[in-house]
Amino acid sequence: MPRTSRLIEWTALAVVMLWGLYQCFWNLAGPNVSADEPIYVDAGWDYLHGDVADNQEHPPFAKYLMGFGQLLFGQGLVTGRSVAALAAFATGVVLYFWLRREIGWVGALSAAGFWLVLPHGVITNVRLDRLALLEPFMVLFAVIAFAAVWQWFRGRPWWWLVVAGVSMAFSVTSKVSSAVLVPVLLVFVVLRRPLRRGLAGLAVFCGVGAVVGVLVYLPVGLFDSVRYMLDFQSQHDATGHLIAVAGVAYTFPPWWSNLWFWFDGMGVVPVLVLLAGTVASVFSRRWALLGMLGAAIALLLAFYLAISDVALSHYYYAWVWLFCAAAGVGVAELLRPKRRRVLLSASRIGAVLLLAVAVVCGVFTSVVIAGQRASGMALVLPELESLGIDEGDVYVAGMAPWEFVYPIEGRWTTELDDPDLVAFALKDQVRFPLDAELTAELEQRAGELDRFTIDDVTLYVVRAAERPVPAG
């Protein structure tokens, strides 16, 4: 029987991990370029070639990793996305091996599976960690740090604190908001008994973390870079950030905005799966583990909902792994043998339902990933070329700059009197309403324009007789 159980475990592990590899890596080149991706990828390449001026508003470590990835596998966006996807996959692996000893393989694999197969996306992608962004690195190293501190808390050797200090330094120097989690780790380092051992461990953890943080920052200029980052982030928080929440544009969004983005980015059903599993975890009475996870969730929610005045659609990603871990504990509890047969049957049915719904959501995510392709603005120039228009400028409106700067390749304009204007590419977004002058121009020139729809873009093409004559 033990051999059969082990075979089932390894088969289930192989299925989940292979599925996770698909979710993370398949069709990475398909989606459009998203906001900030080229900035981070280019900065990573520049940092490794001696130019450290770019993007100092964020810490450098995640960009170093993107730069190393490009040195190994070639320069470009897909490499940056691949390195981020590797971080996301590694997070699932760490969750499994951390929790397996604590809650059993089914609960640990459930936690890892929730992380690896459920959607956690933004408007441009069903999974944020398929994009070359900073968050996947921040989360990976935070998870490693939590797992390592837990080993220390459970009585294991001091070198786990070295792992924890290095990892947490890497997390904070990937994205500084991860520093919110440090107090939780400090508490669990000190809780190691006897107290003198806990205090000694605290010195090791803090010392290692501080040294690694300084070493990471030295290549980009320690004091100037940190000062610039803190000034930039303070000003960003003070001036706000224009964002649409529930169909309304805000510069300073409501306090609940990041919760809205959580439900919008993951989907209502996947979030409810994680919340139901988290509620079930309370009955496990694993107070130390739940205390660590719960304290981290509380600090992140307090920061993102009550302290920060900026809300963006990807911030919720910081706490998803914590709910995945807690939900894994919940699944393990629902499947744990119980004295009453009726209670055992009901709890097992609950566990099966949670896992079945998660599988359905994962299948949906896989289908979306398989079908991802260039869309909208990325198809404007190919559409113009198919019409024989290889030159001329495209007027853009109704969208954020990153939506047109990269795909239009220098042919965009925001000047209605541009003498080389051959087309108008417009979106309908609440953050960027079309102005009256543009509307009047389109009405005035209605007889000169052909209208096309490309996904979420409305393309007005100037008819051949009215187009500017190419120079030469």
Q: Are 433 and 413 in contact (CB under 8 A)?
A: no
Q: Are residues 72 and 215 in the same domain?
A: yes
Q: Are residues 321 and 414 in the same domain?
A: no
Tokens of residue 216, six digits? 């990471």
CA 77 distance to own-chain centroid? 16
Q: Is 283 helix (H, G, I), strand (E, B) or coil?
A: helix
- What's the pLDDT at 222? 87
Domain contains 44: yes
- What's the pLDDT at 471? 55
Domain contains 16: yes
Cis peptide leading into residue 194 (ω within 30°) = yes
Domain contains 472: no
C-alpha count within 13 angstroms, C-beta hemisphere, residue 427: 17
Q: Is 180 helix (H, G, I), strand (E, B) or coil?
A: helix
Q: Are residues 358 and 381 in the same domain?
A: no
Domain limit, last residue, from 320, 336, 371: 371
- What's the pLDDT at 470? 61
Q: From the CB of residue 9, how many other CB atoms can be counted at a distance below 10 Å? A: 16
Domain contains 447: yes
Residue 370 amino acid letter: A
Compute the distance between CA of residue 186 and CA of residue 373 in angstroms, rounded to an integer: 45
The DSSP symbol for 433 reads: P
User: What φ, ψ does residue 431 adopt, rounded to 5°?
Assistant: -75, -25
Rg from Cα positions in the chain: 25
Element (H, E) at 412: strand 412-413
- What's the pLDDT at 338? 76
Q: Are residues 407 and 343 in the same domain?
A: no
Domain limit, last residue, from 313, 339, 371: 371
Q: Are residues 169 and 38 in the same domain?
A: yes
Domain contains 222: yes
If you write DSSP's letter for every residue of 107-174 in order, what string do you get? Answer: HHHHHHHHHHHS-B-BTTBSBGGGSS-SHHHHHHHHHHHHHHHHHHHTT--THHHHHHHHHHHHHHTT
In this structure, the strands spanning 457-462 and 449-454 are antiparallel
Domain contains 112: yes
Q: Are 396 and 423 in contact (CB under 8 A)?
A: no
CB neighbours of 28 closer than 8 A, spacing ≥ 6? Answer: 78, 81, 82, 85, 130
Give the chain's residues under pLDDT 50. Answer: 1, 472
Q: Are residues 399 and 335 in the same domain?
A: no
Q: Are residues 350 and 413 in the same domain?
A: no
- What's the pLDDT at 469? 65
Compute the distance between CA of residue 63 and CA of residue 44 in angstroms, rounded to an integer: 4
Q: Are 212 and 64 in contact (CB under 8 A)?
A: no
For 183, the domain range is 2-371
The tens digit of pLDDT for each residue in 303-359 reads 999 999 999 999 999 999 999 999 999 999 999 987 677 787 889 999 999 999 999
Q: Which residues pair with 426 in a beta bridge?
A: 397, 458
Q: How many domains are there within the chain?
A: 2
Mean residue pLDDT of the chain comes to: 94
- What's the pLDDT at 2? 74
Domain contains 471: no
Compute the distance between CA of residue 445 and CA of residue 430 in angstroms, rounded to an integer: 25
Model pTM?
Answer: 0.95
Q: Are residues 63 and 145 in the same domain?
A: yes
Q: Are residues 52 and 155 in the same domain?
A: yes
Domain contains 140: yes
Q: Are residues 340 and 399 in the same domain?
A: no
Q: Are 265 and 120 in contact (CB under 8 A)?
A: yes
Torsion sign, CA atoms 146, 150, 152, 158: negative
Q: Are residues 315 and 403 in the same domain?
A: no
**Which of 271, 296, 277, 243 has its CA nearest to residue 107?**
277
- What's the pLDDT at 22? 98
Q: Are residues 183 and 283 in the same domain?
A: yes
Domain limit, last residue, from 371, 405, 434: 371
